[in-house]
Amino acid sequence: MDFTSHSDRDRERMLESIGVSSLEDLVDRVLPRRFQLERDLDLPDGLSEYQLTKELKRLAANNRPAAEEVCLLGGGAYDHYIPAALSHLLSRSEFYTAYTPYQAEVSQGTLQTIYEFQTMICRLMGMEAANASHYDGATALAEAVLLAVRKTRNKAVVLPGGLNPLYREALATYCLPAGIEIRTLSGDNGRMEAEEVKKSAEGAGALVIQHPNFFGLLEPVREAAQAAHDAGALVVSSTYPISLALLEPPGEWGADIATAEGQPFGAALNLGGPYVGLFAVNKPLIRMMPGRLVGRTRDTQDREGYVLTLQTREQHIRREKATSNICTNEALVALGALVYLSLIGGDGLKRVADNSYRSAHYLAGKLNGIPNVSLHFNNEFFNEFVIDLPKSADSVQKELADAGFFAGPTLGRWFPEMENSLLVAVTEKLSRSDLDRFVNNLREVVG
């Protein structure tokens, strides 16, 4: 469909006002001809609405929704149950059409939901202030590292060997232009060692602790955090948020900045996004926190209201002096997290976490009994673990998928020595019957 908001006369007047004779003349002035295609795009003929809908359905049929199979996918995105009321609430037009709430007098509903979201994240993380969210867990972690470096003025960050490789890539992208040195721990046996942390953290601005880590293992968080603090570094945590219903929150074991991927709180897998990054700090760092922050206040007539606070919009366009180059957030996905947590409540979240934990350990015991299949690590894990297979994990993953079981990711992509290793995650959606069928199918696949 053509863009028809301006008539030919409208366009002519605009071109005249800037002193060019045609659109082509305008393009020539800003883009050298050697970079111009100078021919029509090779595109097929247009389709009718019916034809287009039919073609899109054909393409969509090539995908197999995780919800229609037995899903054991992990590595940062998890197939948790989403209450039916959530999508209904998010589809209300006052939420999904809302714009950035710079004008508090016309944005009270949006601002209140953000404030409530921040409150819940603070309680989960054991921290004193949370922002309105980031794009995803990876960007939240990267922004946290930048904050720690600004605060300490030490331009180095220590990363664990068990950090999500995709988060590591995002961090490298952020750190390169900022001139931040990346130091990586050895990650022997999949976890951090306090002594190695202490040596590596000297002169560093931040230590990152992912807990549970990419392999699902529980890190020695208190010892590692203390070692980092002794060396003068701040501690940045990255957390699987469902685990916070059972594990100590980051604020209690020593994290200075707490981040997480909020996808498990009411967001579908969605082929990888959009997701939502959770971000919280304690009060000494609140004015350095990136992103927007909503506060509760009272107006001149003593009426309660909500406003953006402590940071102005101009703070995010101050180039190198800005706290962040991101001045937006995934507000609708954050609202979904708020609705999810409100619907299931604290007891419900504990049941989700406990069910996921217990089912994962049941499955691990069963898989460990298959000949030539074993757990890669011997340390305690939460709801995710690595198994070693007698042949390529890529081929096993494909055969399992053909049988209706989605597991992974395979680890050879990032760790060449783990070509035969597969990551398996378990959520509360999987029944004992689902897990037993997975075990039987894996036994058949590996012979």
> Is 231 found in the same domain as 178?
yes
- Boundary-marking domain end, from 339, 363, 386: 339
User: Is pLDDT at 1 greater than 80 in this prediction?
Assistant: no
> Is 140 found in the same domain as 240?
yes
Paired tokens of 217: 């293992």
In sequence order, the 6+-apart residues with CB closer than 8 A to the CB of 406 are 66, 69, 70, 71, 72, 73, 400
pLDDT for res 313: 60
Tell me the helices (H) and strands (E) count for the chain, helix number first.
14, 14
Type of residue numbered 233: A
Question: How much of the chain, in percent, has pLDDT values that exceed 70?
Answer: 97
In a domain, 8, yes or no: no
Which CATH number fits the domain that encloses residue 251? 3.40.640.10
pLDDT band, residue 312 (cuts 50/70/90): low
- Boundary-marking domain end, from 289, 305, 339: 339
> What is the pLDDT averaged over residues 314-336?
76
> Is 311 found in the same domain as 201?
yes
In a domain, 252, yes or no: yes
pLDDT for res 319: 67
- Boundary-marking domain end, from 339, 359, 382: 339
Q: Max Cα separation, the chain?
A: 78
> Is 287 found in the same domain as 151?
yes
> Is 221 found in the same domain as 351?
no
In a domain, 289, yes or no: yes
In a domain, 31, yes or no: no
Tell me whether strands 156-159 and 70-73 are parallel, antiparallel or unpaired.
Answer: unpaired
pLDDT for res 343: 97
What is the Cα–Cα distance from 121 to 260, expressed in whole angstroms?
10
User: Is pLDDT at 293 greater than 80 in this prediction?
Assistant: yes
290 or 314, higher pLDDT: 290
In a domain, 53, yes or no: no
pLDDT for res 105: 86
Instruction: Tell me the pLDDT tens digit for each residue of 341-382.
Output: 999 999 999 999 999 999 999 999 999 999 999 999 999 999
> Is 403 found in the same domain as 279?
no
> Is 314 found in the same domain as 251?
yes
Kindly give the interhelix angle for 8-17 and 23-30, rounded to the nearest 10 degrees. Answer: 40
Instruction: Tell me the pLDDT tens digit for each residue of 159-218.
Output: 999 999 999 999 999 999 999 999 999 977 899 999 999 999 999 999 999 999 999 999
> Is 197 found in the same domain as 174?
yes
In sequence order, the 6+-apart residues with CB closer than 8 A to the CB of 159 are 168, 171, 182, 183, 184, 185, 208
In degrees rounded to 5, what are phi and psi of residue 151? -70, -45
> Is 203 found in the same domain as 171?
yes
Which CATH number fits the domain that encloses residue 436? 3.90.1150.10
Domain that holds residue 371: 66-79+346-446
Least trusted range by pLDDT, from 34-48, 270-284, 298-312, 320-334 = 320-334
Nearest to 257 by CA among 235, 232, 290: 235
What is the Cα–Cα distance from 424 to 366, expressed in whole angstroms?
13
In a domain, 26, yes or no: no
What pTM was estimated for this model as a whole? 0.89
Query: Going along 257-389, which residue ranges are E strands?
Result: 257-261, 277-281, 294-298, 304-308, 374-375, 384-388
pLDDT band, residue 318 (cuts 50/70/90): low
User: Is pLDDT at 2 greater than 90 in this prediction?
Assistant: no
The angle at the Cα of 364, spanning 65 to 387, to the nearest 5 degrees, equals 75
Mean pLDDT (the chain) is 93
> Is 353 found in the same domain as 257?
no
Least trusted range by pLDDT, from 92-96, 161-165, 204-208, 278-282 = 92-96
Helix (H) or strand (E) holding 271: none
User: Is pLDDT at 23 greater than 70 in this prediction?
Assistant: yes
Task: Look at the chain and report how many structural domains it folds into.
Answer: 2
What is the Cα–Cα distance from 157 to 205, expressed in whole angstroms?
6
pLDDT for res 47: 93
Q: Are 221 and 209 in contact (CB under 8 A)?
A: yes
> Is 352 found in the same domain as 289?
no
Q: Are 344 and 120 in contact (CB under 8 A)?
A: no
